[in-house]
Structure 1
Amino acid sequence: MVVRAEATARGLPVQRHLQPSRLLGLGLDPLAESAYQALLERPAWTLQELALRLAVEPAITAEAVARLTALELVTACDDGLRLRPIRPQVGLTALIARREAELAGSWRELEQGRQAAAELATEAEELCRDHRGGPADMWWGEQARSGIRDLLSSASDEVISMSCTAAGQLDRCATPGWPGIAEGVGYRVVLTACAPDDPRYAGHLCRLARDGAQVRTVGRVPLSMLSVDRTVAVLPLGISATGRAAGVSVLRLPGAVAAMVELFGRVWAEATPLGDPADPEHAGPGPRERTLLALLVAGSTDESAAFRMGVSVRTVRRMVSGLMERLGARSRFEAGALAAEHGWLQAPSARR
């Protein structure tokens, strides 16, 4: 208010308020534009007189003058005290030309960035499609289907899976097409209790059971998942209206895989074997299990049976545990007797 009072006392016109800048796009804020316009009206004013005209402190006015000088719209007179504005036809025209050049450079940089972004996106997509084996991948469409088939084909120890139902159909991520169980690979599947009643999947489940897979059902499956050899876990990212996974997340982080395997173990312990558990003949052994039973009844040790069947000792012991559970046997001797009673024994046919 002191500056305004001094300007009034000296008879200088005082600017009541700053108008919105019309030259903001050229780098002039409202105060700088007002200072430039005031100098055009009164050329050769000193900084003090301009401050009085604008009714702002000299230090603030000096900042506005410095911006105008940097934009080459104001210069100092020879005496170093008075300010001389550059005519708009010259100063503003030159400023516009400089701004156009800057914008043209920015557009070139933007187009270069746009092209680089497109190239990077293409490279990332190809890398995601071609590179499998990172700690976490996402597969979509045919890539997901072929990737799951490759994982199953590479199994050497055990495949486990749980499957929810969606839109009345099984999640194909957790129950993929299975051409057959490789020698020495265990396969355990947990389904919801209503899934085996769906005729669309009866053939698939029968093939699993015939090939030696263990299938159980439970009232509620917490999530769909597939794990191969306890080193990789596959989870659906989304399920389409047909029940087929739209995409899958492939996890190889040991902690994440271990958590999925532990969850499966808890669900498996609560699930019921497919079929009537009180009727062992209804869920009879597969060919490999019959071979194992015959070898054990003939006196083979776990190590010997594993060698003759071409599997690991761990696989043999897991198969024995599953057979004892299905037979309701408390010892191996009792399991042999019950197996013979139900006609589960056959002559060994393992490779030598």
Structure 2
Amino acid sequence: MLEILGLAPDEYDLYRVLVESASATPSELASTLDVDVDDVTAYLESLEQRGLVGRHVSGDHEHFTASPPSVAIGSLIVERQRWLRRAEIELERLNELYRKAGDERTASDLVDLVPGRQAGMQRVAQLLRAARREVRLTVRTTKLTTAEYDFAEERRGVERGVRFRVLAERGVLDRPNMLTEFHDGQGIDVRLAPSLPSRLLVVDSEVAMVPVMASPDDLSGGALIVHRSGILDSLIALFEGLWSHGTPLLQSSPSSPDDLEETDARILRLLNAGLTDHKVSNQLGLSARTVQRRMSRLMERAGVETRLQLGVAAKQRGWL
């Protein structure tokens, strides 16, 4: 838990045991933790050097006590915050140097080649981890029908407050429970398109990444990293054009009227996005019969006879 402060898991466990007890000998700690006493002694020496524990002699044995967490751990946190602030200052300085150098870039400097599939996937993760404001991402069907991509970095980005706009081909929803990958719309706006020309990643409107090969799903040749330039502006414009014609899947902060169950609201949103009953059932973990039964009940409530009429009525009633 406190690895970020430089404490190994075993050291933290040892410190916690000491926090819960008045004092203890190395042998008592070894017995409690089921760890070799020599290892416990080494951990205690390490903790003592950092001021987390103190020792005193009682009788023939050395006893150890934990320093107050607010003092011991607090000082580690303050020190780490100091180092992080120094790193932020250095980052700002490097960014300023990078921007100045960018003004002197030649045409050949505007695009970098990342060779190979593995290096390309690593760079994707790196760019997503560096995102601060907004990420634009296109997702093609073939990428999501495999297990290689789990949206882990996107989820971490959302937790940092980064806004994600994901433009995905409708076929991605052939993958069961795909909505769980999209956080059910929380922090990630998703729109669907019948097809997309290529994969595209744009981070903070400062850098973009596209496959090298002409085939939109072939990453064997690696990827191109595009820096601020007319090319980047064109890629952003391409995304925005495709985005404007996409069909919204979920709203950023989905909410349902008080008289409409959340499951029914999800069904309506997915059907409105053009999904079939089968795909809706896959996404929500429901049977096709359940989806159909809920749709029939909604049609009765709205006083309509067809799904087209239900779509109109749902918008009038604020269900969509």
Give the TM-score of the pair, scaled to structure 1. 0.36
Give the TM-score of the pair, scaled to structure 2. 0.39
Please tell me whether Structure 1 or Structure 2 has the larger radius of gyration of its CA atoms.
1
